[in-house]
Structure 1
Amino acid sequence: VGQGILVHTYQDAFARHGLACGQVLLTPGDVVDRTRYLNARHTFDRLLELGAVPVVNENDTVATDELRFGDNDRLAALVASMLHAQVLVLLSDVDGLYPARPYGAGGAVEPIDRVDDFATLDAQVVGPTASDVGTGGMASKLEAARIAAFSGAHTVIANARRPDVLTHVAAGKHLGTWFPPSRRRPESRKLWIAFAPVPQGRIDVDSGAVRALVERGSSLLAAGIVDAHGEFAAGDAVNVVGPDNTVVARGLTTYSTDDIRQIRGRSTEALAAELGVAYTREVIHRDSLVVVA
């Protein structure tokens, strides 16, 4: 009912600055399906070439609880990755990421200036998963910052109520909490594998498999697999989890859950002899696997 009014409000607001805008509604399928992903990126590129500012939101009309982005922070990070953006700005109702919750501290606690390693952040820093002014809280913003950093973009978490906040960030003024990008941006397909599809399950691997994936960039073989969880099919995205319960990689599996449980822990030679050559292929080929640890 209010969609027309909302779009008109955006148009009026941008027109006051001599700008045109265009609404883009996305669903997870638009970033999971490779063809739709490329079509969406072309649409963004064309809008920007024409001087229009894309206003992006999730298409709630067709979204379901099982298939949705979940919050606009993640959506913003995926769009930033899609467009090879240099900076992602995430606005909040606080001044940045705090070492402890600032509430009740009389403003004495200062936000963290810079985060180089996400592994150093504990649960107290991450805080609640939602706020009163959006669909995501600081936890979702940190996940979005992680996606953007992995994609080669800077991220700033800042206070939406700060005057001229976007102008200051664009001018390079340091404010809020800054997350620098990773040193090397992976190829676009691996970025898509890492963050676009929702993992449908997990594959638990031993320490030897972790070393092979992380240090040597190997494919995941059945011999290093301990167990599989969830109900997934060949082609689905899954997390690869090490002995310490840490997600070390994400990839597109070539086997279903039941098949992996059947072949886990067995060498390629043993599988060829017992089940045939069809079961000797990699569980996740290295071209379809991204190390995220």
Structure 2
Amino acid sequence: MRETVTGARRIVVKIGSSSLTTAAGGLDPARVDALVDVLAARQAAGVEVVLVSSGAIAAGLAPLGFARRPRDLASQQAAASVGQGLLVNRYTQSFARYGIRVGQVLLTVDDLVRRVHYRNAHQTLTTLLGLGALPVVNENDTVATDEIRFGDNDRLAALVAALVHADLLVLLSDVDALYTGPPGRPGSLRISDVRSPEDLAHITIGGAGSAGLGTGGMVTKIEAARIATTSGIPVVLTGAPHAGAALAGEPVGTLFHRLRRRPTSRLFWLAHATTPQGRLHLDAGAVAAVVDRRASLLPAGVTAVDGTFTAGDPVDLLDPAGRPVARGLVNYDSIELPPLLGRSTRDLDPGYDRELIHRDDIALL
């Protein structure tokens, strides 16, 4: 038995569109009820549950006469508008069989990128849990544009898991585990445990989800697992039919072990929920100071600046090879920086003698 699963007292469960809908695009009541049966049992056992559910767009396809998921954003938003009501109504009815209240929470990237919105989302979700309700979270597809989309609900689920300080993230899919290659290929083996990034070095990852209804694939699930495990949250990836066994701690699917202890919510927000507005190129000495010694970033260690940003914006810090190693909140506008680069703070005029980025405002990547 997986004690890291059975010992979790607050869990986030994500389920994809293809696990909830028929091939024609409508919701499958039997699949929804099967998932609800599992989650209701966990809540009855004293576990707090947050459900991140795809399926709004897929649920709206058939009622609007779409044969397949449309490609244009306006039609997707229209399908989501119809389907979201159908989806939450189906969950409300199904959970009512157990006397469980459902609360709908629709999020956009903007709700997690802006620090004030991030705190508000945290308060809403934790209050719902405290009142005994089960939050059903989805991306607000009716208003989200390409510029403010999460891209897939796997990433959203990982961010929500960190947002509510979950003990476990469970990703339910139409694939029962992570394999060394495409599951149907002869010789592909199930990977039961992932303890470090090196465990993923020799696998072949498939593409998008099945049936043309979802947007995610194994790549997005591995990225979601990376976000969660580096935030101190273990992840179980398995197929929706195995949800009960997975949450009971049975060794089904793939368990991604947490890679480090939980960071502060502010640093997690900075690392994973912000969009960098620029880049600072560091020399080797500055990289060592920021990454190894956790020091503030000074002008002397910066060799170049990319992008246009203002003081307080998030920027990525790049090593000499161009790889992002950290993200921080910069203390200067981009137009102020070129004359400061490579200079000691002792040589700068008053007002320019502070750090480029203080160590408390740096999240390692």
Q: TM-score range by the shorter chain?
A: 0.7 to 0.9
SS in 2 for 1:279: coil
| 1:57-76 alignment, distance < 5 Å | 57-76=138-157
- Aligned match for 1:197, one of 274, 277, 280: 274
The residue number in structure 2 matching 1:22 is: 103
Separation of aligned partners in 2, 1:64 and 1:5: 22
1:140 corresponds to 2:140: no
The answer for unaligned runs of 5 or more in structure 2 is: 1-80
- Aligned match for 1:218, one of 295, 308, 317: 295
- Measured after TM superposition, the shift of residue 123 of structure 1 is 8.6
SS in 2 for 1:277: coil
| 1:122-271 alignment, distance < 5 Å | 122=201, 125-128=204-207, 132-160=212-240, 163=241, 165-270=242-347
- Aligned match for 2:357, one of 272, 284, 289: 284
1:110 corresponds to 2:189: yes
Q: Is the 8 A contact 2:196 2:259 kept in 1?
A: no
Q: Is the 8 A contact 1:97 1:125 kept in 2?
A: no
The residue number in structure 2 matching 1:56 is: 137
The answer for unaligned runs of 5 or more in structure 1 is: none
The number of aligned residues is 283
Separation of aligned partners in 2, 1:285 and 1:115: 34
- Measured after TM superposition, the shift of residue 249 of structure 1 is 0.9
Q: Deviations over 1:117-151 (max 9, x none)?
A: 22553495444366644222222212211211122
- Indicate how the Cα distance of structure 1 residues 252 and 4 shifts in structure 2: closer, same or farther if over 3 A, else same: same
- Measured after TM superposition, the shift of residue 230 of structure 1 is 2.5
TM-score, normalization: structure 1?
A: 0.88
Separation of aligned partners in 2, 1:42 and 1:130: 32
- Indicate how the Cα distance of structure 1 residues 96 and 246 shifts in structure 2: closer, same or farther if over 3 A, else same: farther
- Indicate how the Cα distance of structure 1 residues 40 and 139 shifts in structure 2: closer, same or farther if over 3 A, else same: same
- Indicate how the Cα distance of structure 1 residues 116 and 264 shifts in structure 2: closer, same or farther if over 3 A, else same: farther
- Indicate how the Cα distance of structure 1 residues 90 and 35 shifts in structure 2: closer, same or farther if over 3 A, else same: same
Q: Deviations over 1:61-90 (max 9, x none)?
A: 332222222211111111100111011011
Give the counterpart letter for 1:147 in structure 2. I
1:121 corresponds to 2:200: yes
- Aligned match for 1:47, one of 128, 135, 138: 128
Separation of aligned partners in 2, 1:175 and 1:228: 47
- Measured after TM superposition, the shift of residue 11 of structure 1 is 1.1
Alignment RMSD, CA only? 2.1
Structure 1 consecutive aligned stretches of length 4 or more whose deviation exceeds 3 Å: 119-133
TM-score, normalization: structure 2?
A: 0.72
- Indicate how the Cα distance of structure 1 residues 213 and 119 shifts in structure 2: closer, same or farther if over 3 A, else same: farther
